[in-house]
Amino acid sequence: MNQATFISGVRCLGSRTCLKVKNPAAVLLVLILSLAMSLMLWYAMPAFIDGINNHLFGGEQLYMPAWMHELQQMFFSIYVFGSLFPFMFFTGLSMLPERQKALDPRLPFVSVIIPAFNEESNIAQCIESVLRLDYPAYEVIIVDDGSRDLTLPIIENYDVSLIRLRHNRGKVAALNKGIEKAKGEIVFFTDSDSALDPMALRYLVGNFSDPSIAAVASNVVLKRNDSYLKRMQTLEYLYGQAVMKEAQIRSGDSVSICPGPATAFRRSVLLETGGYSNRTLAEDFDITVDLLELGYKAVYEPRAISSTTAMTSWKALKKQRIRWSRGHLQVYREHHESLFTGTTGTISMFWLPYSLFIGYGSAFLEMFFLAIYPVIVLLSPMPLTFLKLGLAYIVVMEAVNALQGIVPLIQTGRLTPSLVLSSFLTQPYRVFLSYTRILAFRDEMQHRKHVW
């Protein structure tokens, strides 16, 4: 590796472009405005809620011991600065102006790699969407990772290259086998349960006109939202991309995760990183941080649409999210030396620490609140009064929290009645996600066996 260089106080590896804070003045302005709005709500909302209670229950019903009132305000303060302030800050970042991308007029040869394991219900749709891509020169490589259903016979019906692994060796092995056979300058990965927009590959490849860009992530959307569980996942995906990924790109030029359902890489960089690693359960997150630490950029292309399948049962979602959360913990462990160092600009300086400490800290805090609040109500000398007057706080916080679902819907043009209504009903889903993160933390501490 080349000797490290330093630009504007940020450590950069090699001679590649340093990942600096983009639009620092605008970022600082958004931060100040978000903090000011949060402080205004923090000061004004308790009086507003007391006014609601006075209107509903009458002034004589408002008396409660001072400690009860202070406790409710403490919970409200945690909500404002732990949830509402980050949401306003990130939303503001996501709305910062972005220069129009100059797409690469070249159309280099691309290798499309699809790992598959027991995907008989999805693989045909995935292959057909890949074969319909509007791109002049690409190959399709499917790696069957020892499937025991009808996946292999279905693949053999199509004119694609097939790598057959006799035994199930895991997704990382399947991905690396595909890289070995790939001939393209650009390697494009998609999951076997995904379907691609015909223009997706053109949009992704067009970003590689910048030689410092090593990976381009697509815009992942869910195929259907015809149930409560699917609508919750839809809102989650939209927030993660329309707000979080856009905020990362507009403040620092890179995103922290290039997801498996559709990401394009420079093959030379994949070889430089040594390919995918099986040291974590989140190989896409791991390899993204790897290439960022080498000094490259990983960007986001919202016009490249990849439709993927949502989990249809709570049991399946629980298994998926425990694996994801545990994999993320493993990535933080493997790359802990980069945290707070600025090695990868805003990603290691802010976004990774935020995701680790707030993502998992909020999970424990939320579960603690759910456990302690009923106890406080029952043990208080005025349980009915405490509960009745506390409901206004909960209702107001939930109404404000619904904005976290509605804003991405507006940004993406998906403001449908069902999704708007679902934005007001996210509390059970959020509690469930916190629960899975805690289980993942427990499993990782106990060093339980990794599975695909």
Interval 154-209: pLDDT, tens:
999 999 999 999 888 889 999 999 999 999 999 999 999 999 999 999 999 999 98
Q: For residue 450, what pLDDT band results from cuts at 50, 70 and 90?
A: low
pLDDT value, residue 266: 96
CA distances from 365 to 44, 88, 394 (A): 24, 21, 16
Q: What is the pLDDT of residues 259-293, one digit of tens each?
A: 988 899 999 999 999 999 999 999 999 999 999 99
Q: For residue 11, what pLDDT band results from cuts at 50, 70 and 90?
A: very low
pLDDT value, residue 101: 67
Residue 145, classified by CB atoms within 10 Å of its CB into exposed (0-12), middle (13-18) or buried (19+), is buried
If asked whether residues 285 and 347 sit together in one domain, one would say no
Beta strand pairing status for 10-12 and 161-165?
A: unpaired
Is the per-residue pLDDT at 18 higher than 60? no
Across the range 79-92, mean pLDDT stands at: 89
pLDDT value, residue 316: 94
CA dihedral sign of residues 318, 319, 322, 328: negative
Q: What is the pLDDT of residues 49-70, one digit of tens each?
A: 777 777 777 655 555 667 666 7
Is the per-residue pLDDT at 16 higher than 50? no
Is the per-residue pLDDT at 438 higher than 80? yes
What's 152's domain CATH number? 3.90.550.10
pLDDT value, residue 102: 67
C-alpha torsion angle, residues 293, 296, 300, 306 (rounded to 10): -80
Is the per-residue pLDDT at 131 higher than 60? yes
Please state the domain count of the chain.
Answer: 2
If asked whether residues 178 and 282 sit together in one domain, one would say yes
Q: Are 142 and 111 in contact (CB under 8 A)?
A: no
pLDDT value, residue 314: 96
If asked whether residues 86 and 152 sit together in one domain, one would say no
> CA 111, 116, 121: angle at the middle one, nearest 5?
120
Is the per-residue pLDDT at 446 higher than 90? no
Domain around 283: 110-312
Residue 27 to residue 407: CA distance in whole angstroms: 19
Helices (H), 162-266: 171-181, 200-206, 228-238, 246-252
- Buried b / exposed e over 368-377, threshold 16 CB at 10 Å, is eeeeebeebb
If asked whether residues 360 and 430 sit together in one domain, one would say yes
Q: Are 178 and 265 in contact (CB under 8 A)?
A: no
Residue 342 to residue 293: CA distance in whole angstroms: 10
Q: Are 114 and 127 in contact (CB under 8 A)?
A: yes
If asked whether residues 125 and 267 sit together in one domain, one would say yes
Residue 136 to residue 19: CA distance in whole angstroms: 33
- Distance of alpha carbon 143 from the chain centroid: 26
If asked whether residues 344 and 263 sit together in one domain, one would say no
Is the per-residue pLDDT at 10 higher than 60? no
Higher pLDDT, 9 or 313: 313
Last residue of a domain, one of 278, 312, 346: 312
Q: For residue 8, what pLDDT band results from cuts at 50, 70 and 90?
A: very low
Residue 328 to residue 355: CA distance in whole angstroms: 9
Last residue of a domain, one of 260, 288, 312: 312
If asked whether residues 74 and 146 sit together in one domain, one would say no
Q: What is the pLDDT of residues 374-395, one digit of tens each?
A: 887 777 777 777 677 677 777 8
Of 234, 220, 199, the closest CA to residue 416 belongs to 234
Last residue of a domain, one of 312, 338, 370: 312
Among 38-42, 70-74, 290-294, the least confident range: 70-74
If asked whether residues 135 and 228 sit together in one domain, one would say yes
**How many Cβ atoms are within 10 Å of 167's Cβ, its own excluded?**
7
If asked whether residues 386 and 269 sit together in one domain, one would say no
The residues near 370 (Cβ < 8 Å, ≥ 6 apart) are 431
pLDDT value, residue 3: 36
CA distances from 114 to 18, 130, 144, 189, 336 (A): 32, 10, 9, 6, 31
Across the range 319-326, mean pLDDT stands at: 94
pLDDT value, residue 65: 65
If asked whether residues 155 and 118 sit together in one domain, one would say yes
pTM over 0.85: yes
**How many Cβ atoms are within 10 Å of 357's Cβ, its own excluded?**
12
If asked whether residues 236 and 265 sit together in one domain, one would say yes
Q: Are 261 and 218 in contact (CB under 8 A)?
A: yes
If asked whether residues 269 and 295 sit together in one domain, one would say yes
